[in-house]
Amino acid sequence: MNIDRVMYCNDLTGLKIRLAKDGYYDVESDTYSTPGSLTPIKYNGNTTLSYTRNCTLDLGEYVELEDLGTYEEVFADSAKDAKYKSVYDYTKKIEYTDEDGVVQGYYPSKKIGMFLWDLKNGLV
């Protein structure tokens, strides 16, 4: 069974130091890896959000990370939702001017990512 969770990082710099120390950094490719999968990370300064699948990092050891839970749990809890919105504010309208000079706007998706599962072919 896949376990999909929203992970909040309160100190990305500290997390990178710890991941490198624990062997989750590849110098040659200049990339960090963690057990499990994650969707593209959302950043706000040194704090981040990611949507993960089967992350097995020990959160007692990786104190920079906090499991906010499923999307349902995040959006049902005002404190968790506030943390989520501190990195990715889905309630803030994004405006831009189109090619005709008209101001357009939209609200970003509430969810930062999701994993798709194809019953025949597996993870998409």
CA distance 31 to 94: 31
Rounded mean pLDDT, 102-123: 79
CA distance 82 to 94: 19
pLDDT in tens, 51-87: 999 888 899 999 999 999 999 999 999 999 999 999 9
Q: pTM (2 decimals)? A: 0.84
- Number of folded domains that form the chain: 1
Supply the range of the domain harboring residue 79: 4-123
Structure tokens at 26: 């590849």
